[in-house]
Amino acid sequence: MHMFEMIIQSSYFMICCQMLLATIFGAVIGYDREKFGKPAGVKTHAMVCLGSCILMIIGTLTATETGYSDPTRLAAQVVSGIGFLCGGVIIVTNRSEVKGLTTAAGLWLAACMGLCIGSAYMWMCIPAGVCYYLITHILSKFETRIKKPSVDEENVG
């Protein structure tokens, strides 16, 4: 076996690829949020995706090495812990409007994508990314068309 083949087949190489891929997918979602001036951008989404990927890799490696650990326990902690971070980007304005829900959902999605990548299900991130784009760019156009004015807006005019 050639040295290059040994490196490619190495679990260390695979882990590095998973971590890099998680960073890239998280950054793509973050870039999309940042270009609209949202509070959590490239760095935040990339770190959430990478961090959840690392925890899933740790859970999987621990289960493989010990034979009795449950890798989903760490994943469950990511899912519940991300709620704290997401809560920080959701605000209610003085006009009683809720802002930041889509950004929070994007952070949650980045965490889920990191868990997928950490579990070696990288292929799931491609359709998830396509769905993210459809939701944030295509569905948002329909949302603005069907959104009804609030009671305050009706009373103003």
Residue pLDDT, tens place only, 123-155 = 888 899 888 888 888 887 776 777 665 555 454
Q: What three-state secondary structure class fits 106?
A: helix
- 85-116 burial, b if ≥16 CB within 10 A, otherwise e? bbeebeeeeeeeeeebebbbbbbbbbbbbbbb
pLDDT per position as a tens digit, 80-92: 888 888 888 888 8
Question: Which of residues 96 and 147 earns the better pLDDT score?
Answer: 96
pTM of this prediction? 0.73
